[in-house]
Structure 1
Amino acid sequence: MGETIPIAVPRKGRPLESVLDRLAARLDITGLADDVASTLRHEKALTKGTIDADENDVYHRLAEYSTVDDPTKPEYTLLRDDRAGKPRRIVFDSVTIPLADVEGAPDDAEIQLVGREEPFRSLRTHEFALGFDSADLVLEEVVELRPEPLDRIADVNARIDPSDTDVRVVTGLGDTVYHTLLATPEVAPAVDSLDRDFLETYEGPLCIEPRYERLVQAVLGTRTLDGVEFRYPEEGREEEAAIADAGLGVYLTVTGSTARDHGLLLGEQLFPSETVLLENTVESTDTIGVVRSFLNGPDLETELAVEP
């Protein structure tokens, strides 16, 4: 039996799909990646009620999806969803993938993807040496707040206090969306751009999701936020609608179509939100180094500069 390298991954959503896509680009696991992604999309639709449930209840579906006697087949588990009624939702649990064709990997070495609600925190507590999570969580938890703004993921490591955590960002996966400055026409500058320079002189409300408060402080810099008052959407209120009421806000955008539907103008893309590969540096071994290099690489199209 060769060495097994566990890797913490998100249990669902875009970040997990990005991890699977990355592995499918480097290994022959396209079928596995598609199977996991389609299963979780189906379960999400059932949980949201956008498709009708079939005859089988959630426990029967879980038994159908999971293959407990073959670790190279995906396993799933149940979590309580935050939606009304807190329904049980099927999410990813684990799968083992051989590394037979990876140069430099020991004979019979393999990786085991292990689902976690917050992979970054699992690395912080030294449960894992490698993992994937949103760059946002790193900013929300460990990046130092400074008067100067932070505008690149590549600068995140420089703002992590070594006494706070041994986890560092290795690279991004390129699944980029942006924390974008949004404003109504009444608040946006008539001539100048809707950007950080505008915020330097702005005083008034800025609507954000509560979980992004520390991230926004890190990205904009505490000096820029002098005179700014954070406002938060009421529970159940659409974020773009709340920003339209406040006049100015920061929220994740892809195309910006929903923001425009609420009469908002799109300003500067303040910071990229991206799934990132993380490493707990004190847990590194030779095999982990091989896996890290294998997951990294110049073929990645990412906002994060790839480390050598």
Structure 2
Amino acid sequence: MTSVRIAVPRKGRPLEAVLERIASRTGRTGLADEIISTLRYEKAIAKGDQQPDAPVYDRLSSYSDATDPTAPEYTLMRDDRQSMPRRIVFDSVRIPSETVDLELIGREEPFRALRKHEFALGFDSADLVLEEVVRLDPEPLTDLAALNERIDPLDTDVRVHTGLGDTVYHTLLATPAVADELDADLTREFVAEYAGELCISPRYERLVTAVLGTAAIEGIDFRYPDRDRTEEDLVAEVGLGVYITVSGSTARDHGLLVGDRLFPSETVLLENAAEMTAHAERAVDLVDGADIETALAIQ
């Protein structure tokens, strides 16, 4: 059967969301669990939270099965942590189905691989789309459904098709002192009235500008945490910040108030319209579905 190559992240929450989604449609839950548990174990080793049971090349060899064409393959990369450890990450796997075989190919930046026309399909965080191609307007971008409208067709053929429902949110955080200073709710309007420093994650300047709007960030100076410092810790010092939160408990532990959810962060299925084929459409039909509870509502 013809296979369709799909670019996917090499590690992390987006890859897990992709594997779980495909497993739910193909029944390959054991394969997904195997890949996810292997990568979580290797992440713990890279972070120093787990002692390895064998040298890295021995582990890499043990994860492979050359006799099984559908067995996952892994590769080595340098982790960006201070000691730059070698980290085992996902490389590829072939997943058969009744309609089309899916060949998942690990990439550091799947969205960029689609932009370069290396793939017709890919999965990546919606954040990367905001960071790369969305138009920056005075008015804020408030939901994923409007994302495609802000992509210049002359810039890229890639569009967002659907989300996978692994939604977390870029959330406004502030200290009580800063909130009391303006005596207002922690919303986009609060930021528009604020002037001073705003803590954000590194490389998210364009994303935050898009979701707040260029008008709101006039008078704002972005601050970024150092490698050995958390975002919540810097927000507590600066007074105001935008950071991805799930429950908000960590922010509250730092004495921060949790404000509006500004924008959803979610793994999305991406299409390069110029590269789509009938086989790629079958792959889309396989992973798409009304059963996904997603913050995305592309029409």
Fold shared, TM-score > 0.5 on shorter chain: yes
The one-letter amino acid of 2:95's match is I
Shift of 1:53: 1.8
Aligned equivalents of 1:226, 1:145: Cα separation in 2:
13
Q: What is the aligned-residue identity percentage?
A: 63
Aligned equivalents of 1:120, 1:215: Cα separation in 2:
15
Query: Which residue does the alignment assign to 1:291?
Result: 283
Shift of 1:306: 4.8
Q: Which of 129, 137, 161 lines up with 1:138 in the alignment?
A: 129
Query: Which residue does the alignment assign to 1:188?
Result: 179
Unaligned runs of 5+ in 1: none
Q: Aligned with 2:177: secondary structure?
A: coil
Shift of 1:199: 1.4
The one-letter amino acid of 1:130's match is L
Runs of 4+ in 1 over 6 A off after TM superposition: none
Q: Which of 137, 148, 154 lines up with 2:139 in the alignment?
A: 148
Residues 96-107 of structure 1: pairs in structure 2 closer than 5 A: 96-100=94-98, 105=99
Matched, 1:92 2:105: no
Query: Which residue does the alignment assign to 1:35?
Result: 34
Shift of 1:83: 1.3
Moved more, 150-159 or 223-232: 223-232
Query: Which residue does the alignment assign to 2:201?
Result: 209
Query: Which residue does the alignment assign to 2:119?
Result: 128
The one-letter amino acid of 2:114's match is L
RMSD across aligned positions (CA): 1.2
The one-letter amino acid of 1:62's match is L
Residues 256-271 of structure 1: pairs in structure 2 closer than 5 A: 256-271=248-263
Aligned equivalents of 1:233, 1:45: Cα separation in 2:
22
The one-letter amino acid of 1:289's match is E
The one-letter amino acid of 1:115's match is G
Asked if the contact 1:204/1:228 (under 8 Å) is kept, the reply is yes
Shift of 1:305: 0.8
What does the per-residue CA deviation read over 1:45-70, in whole Å, with 9 as the maximum and x for residues that have no partner?
1111112221x101000000012342
Unaligned runs of 5+ in 2: none
Shift of 1:207: 1.0
Query: Which residue does the alignment assign to 1:159?
Result: 150
Give TM-score, length-normalised by structure 1: 0.94
The one-letter amino acid of 2:153's match is P
What does the per-residue CA deviation read over 1:57-113, in whole Å, with 9 as the maximum and x for residues that have no partner?
01000000012342201011111111122111111111101122xxxx3xxx31100
Q: Which of 286, 295, 298 lines up with 1:303 in the alignment?
A: 295
Q: Alignment length, in residue pairs?
A: 298
Matched, 1:58 2:56: yes
Matched, 1:230 2:230: no
Matched, 1:172 2:142: no
Q: Aligned with 1:21: secondary structure?
A: helix
